[in-house]
Structure 1
Amino acid sequence: MNNFSRLAKPEEASSYLPHFSRSLAEKSARRLTAMPLFSEKDYREMHPGAVDGSDGDTFYHALCYGAPQGAPLFKPEQIARSLANASDSSTDESSPAAPVVSSFHDRAGAFRAQYPHASVYVSSLGNTFMKEIAGDLALDLRRAGLDVVIQDENSDIASMPPLSIVVAPHEFFTLGVGKEWMRDAVVSASFVYNTEQLHTPWFAKAMPAIVASQGVFDISPQAAHLFGEAGIPAMHLEPGATLQTRWLEDEDMDHPLVDALPTNAKGQIFNPRAWTGRPIDVSFFGSESARRESFFGRNAATFAKLSSFIYYRRQWHGPILDYTEGRSLTRLAGHVAGHSKISLNIHRDEFPYFEWHRMVRQGMASGALVVTDPCLPHPHLRPGEHFFEEEARHIPNLLEWLIFDVDGQRDAQRVLKNTADLLSSNEANFVRTDAMLSFLSKQLGGTGP
């Protein structure tokens, strides 16, 4: 029997969710039954004997025992099938109509009259990327005139406003005193913003909050579609990204990685629309994985030929935390992209998610040309139009063509212009906030936009 089969007290969902009521857990577990992604047979095969120790209810066990411990909820084959099926529908997000911006303020005013205040919650102990996303979400809501406060797990639970969004529930509800927030009155009244991929233990940890929440924002269009199919209110949402001219702060200049930069890549200011004179040919920031290890090892000769800057973070370092060197490190990733011709994305494993943070927020926003191995389709960003996509084994040839060949350079400039124009569009910001308000209003029962 697996060690996550411990029995709960009658009033609690499980010993791993002590503040989550059994009644809400049972209601939430039923949402799993509507998810084609979840298979009772697969779950029992992955965890033989475990379900038998918790009244034999597979869905309840998965949500209240397996998920809180990061246990696999779905077989990889089923995830791959579901993502492929979702990709056929999740890219159907319609382009905004022209009147959206002109009428935005009226709809924002109606929403603000009902919900003038909002809180965006993010763990103080989690990955610093999540704090960046929280800041971007707050900016989107402030665009509608809302009074938005970013808070963490040390805030007063009793002061939660009716409009509350929890970023990265896999961190917020599981780290430190955030565990105290995993209770009915909080979770069922909140919206959550999921950033994690379906096959990871972090997604599993987020699952109890996802299925019990008022609604889900997801950074993946495919995941949002899968939630929606299961009757879970969900919206694909990527925070805004705009062209940057500077990432580093004065305190970052003492970071050891700055010393490793070429002399002409140490300036804090860069031009996101200037490309040909950038001193770094190709850069990569990411954590280690067997797939990446194989790619970089196999193509070491190519990277040695180019002016390359590769930061390859070992897993034992753990997540990039906001209260360590992490703040400087994430800014350095953007800074390096701002001095690189090409920002490279290589997927961690066989699941080819569109890596928004690396590809858009760091790479495209810094004026770098993004090159990636094949991704799941994106509703608005397309290969050959906003980035280059190629099978991993052919990426070295593509890099050399883009950097050294006149035709390659010309094609690179075309794609860079498309991306810069897109990220410079103020209309896109209003459209995104308008869509957020419409989704929130519908779930909150209001009459807003």
Structure 2
Amino acid sequence: MANFPRPAVPEESASPHLPRISRLLAEKSVRRLAALTLFSEKDYCEMHPGAAVGNEFDACVHAFCHGAPQGGPLFNPEQIARSLALVSASLINESAPSKSFQARAEAFRTRYPVASIYVSSLGNTFMKEIAGDLAVDLRRAGIDVSVRDENSDMAGLLPLSIVVAPHEFFTLGAGKDWMRDTVVSSSFVYNTEQMHTPWFAKALPAILASPGVFDISPQAARLFEGAGIPSMHLEPGAVLQTRWLEDVDLDHPLIDALPAEAKGLTFDPSGWVERPIDVSFFGSESARRESFFGRNASTFAKLSSFIYYRRQWHGPILDHTEGRSLTRIAGHVAGYSKISLNIHRDEFPYFEWHRMVRQGMGSGSLVVTDPCLPHPHLKPGEHFLQEEARHIPNLLEWLIFDADGQCEAGRVLKNTARLLSNDEANFVRTDSILSFLSKQMDGVES
């Protein structure tokens, strides 16, 4: 357990990087970090040899006060892999709350009739979509929800507030001023980042200080829970789309590059065989993806392929530049593609919800991916097809050209359509959110 605080930490502040976090809240956060199985003081000292000097050095304190806010390395990749494997082995289907939805919704909105969801105006457009989806979930229970950003009046913070993508909200622009006790100790956070990335490191101070965490990864939620951080796995809802584009998108250069048959504004989610694009992929560059596409260029040349490989990444995909168009175009292309391909950017095979579910399955496209971490609801062979990267080219050709492959594709697509058309799942998700919030809000108010 960490000995907090270090003598060099000022009495009025936990860290020069977190100047508005009190010593008391920092102590609580450091205790949670020390309990997180991902964290090893020995590994952290080896990753930060210049900081680990003197008898007063405390790895947990340094990680919270300095390493995390600066987006520095916090965890040994091998330890991350071991931890993810351990919780994945015990991952089972998540149970729904026992109380009826209507009764829970009525009781909850009596106490919390209004709620605010915060998301950075300077962040990735995907996060704004997630914030919007979460608002829909809460409105399903009759709660009056407003979606706000870092330019809102901080004095208007409601008892029920949720911050989406804390790695952006608390670090970009005016959001830095919101990283203070009165906000983070009473606001829930929705983490969307993978644990081995610098963006997760930047989110960690808010996660550790929060009264409760939603996480898009079921494995991450389990790991947080094990460290005494109230956590819940939560993914936004997804539905079958028939249209993604807006009129303004038709002038985008990527639309010009599409086959003529793929330029219509609407598409038929069920018309799989007639789709003009065999396989599509949208993603940013990485060494792993570079190797995959280079090695299998001959296979993609045989197929009608649409590959958008973003070679230069300069920060969030912003909706006031190309981002809002780009996310709509990715969904549109999936709607005209038989297969939506997912290739992990690195060796950590997180379930890529946005690409696989929202854009791929939600557009009636068959999702093919290299192996993913287990998911409690979406299963390989049932809702998507999973194969080792070296065998994916053979799988693609079998699905496109072979009658048995087309039959298998049809079977999986029917399962996916059935899942996404099940409105009951939306109420179960909202019910689970209310159940989780109810338990944690009692602790916040006390």
Partner of residue 346 from structure 1, selected from 343, 347, 350 = 343
Aligned-pair CA distance for 1:89:
2.1
Please state whether the residue corresponding to 1:106 is helix, strand or coil.
helix
One-letter amino acid of the counterpart of residue 135, structure 2: A
8 A Cα contact 1:167 1:193, kept in partner? yes
Aligned-pair CA distance for 1:122:
0.2
Task: Compare 283-292 and 271-280 and name the one that shifted more.
Answer: 271-280
**Equivalent residues in 2 for 1:22-171, closer than 5 Å:** 22-52=23-53, 55-94=56-95, 96=96, 103-171=100-168
Q: Deviations over 1:359-384 (max 9, x none)?
A: 00000000000000000000010000
Aligned-pair CA distance for 1:315:
3.2
8 A Cα contact 1:7 1:53, kept in partner? no
One-letter amino acid of the counterpart of residue 269, structure 2: P
Task: Compare 145-154 and 28-37 and name the one that shifted more.
Answer: 28-37
Once superposed, which parts of structure 1, at least 4 consecutive aligned residues long, lie more than 4 Å away? Answer: 5-8
Aligned-pair CA distance for 1:349:
0.1
Q: Deviations over 1:32-75 (max 9, x none)?
A: 12111110000001101314379412111101100001111100
Q: Deviations over 1:270-303 (max 9, x none)?
A: 1112100000000000000000000000000000
The alpha-carbon distance between structure 1 residues 6 and 415, as it changes in their structure 2 partners (threshold 3 A), is: farther
Q: Following the alignment from structure 2 to structure 1, what is the Cα–Cα distance between the partners of residues 171 and 121?
A: 12
TM-score by length of 1: 0.95
1:189 aligns with 2:186: yes
Q: Following the alignment from structure 1 to structure 2, what is the Cα–Cα distance between the partners of residues 174 and 22?
A: 20
1:382 aligns with 2:379: yes
- Counterpart of 1:202 in structure 2 is 199
- How many residue pairs get aligned? The number is 438
Task: Compare 17-26 and 133-142 and name the one that shifted more.
Answer: 17-26
8 A Cα contact 2:7 2:56, kept in partner? no
Task: Compare 103-112 and 192-201 and name the one that shifted more.
Answer: 103-112
Q: Following the alignment from structure 2 to structure 1, what is the Cα–Cα distance between the partners of residues 385 and 313?
A: 32
8 A Cα contact 2:280 2:339, kept in partner? yes
8 A Cα contact 1:89 1:225, kept in partner? no
- Counterpart of 1:405 in structure 2 is 402
* 5+ residue gaps, structure 2: 1-5
- Counterpart of 2:253 in structure 1 is 256
Q: Following the alignment from structure 2 to structure 1, what is the Cα–Cα distance between the partners of residues 193 and 78?
A: 18
Over the aligned positions, Cα root-mean-square deviation in angstroms equals: 1.6
8 A Cα contact 1:7 1:54, kept in partner? no
One-letter amino acid of the counterpart of residue 391, structure 1: E
* 5+ residue gaps, structure 1: none
One-letter amino acid of the counterpart of residue 71, structure 1: G
Please state whether the residue corresponding to 2:53 is helix, strand or coil.
helix
Aligned-pair CA distance for 1:21:
1.4
One-letter amino acid of the counterpart of residue 10, structure 1: E
8 A Cα contact 1:6 1:15, kept in partner? no
8 A Cα contact 1:63 1:208, kept in partner? yes
Partner of residue 370 from structure 1, selected from 354, 367, 371 = 367
Q: Deviations over 1:211-252 (max 9, x none)?
A: 100100000000000000111000000010011010000111
1:308 aligns with 2:293: no
The alpha-carbon distance between structure 1 residues 167 and 301, as it changes in their structure 2 partners (threshold 3 A), is: same
Q: Following the alignment from structure 2 to structure 1, what is the Cα–Cα distance between the partners of residues 90 and 131?
A: 28
8 A Cα contact 1:91 1:221, kept in partner? no
1:266 aligns with 2:263: yes
Overall identity of the aligned pairs, in %: 77
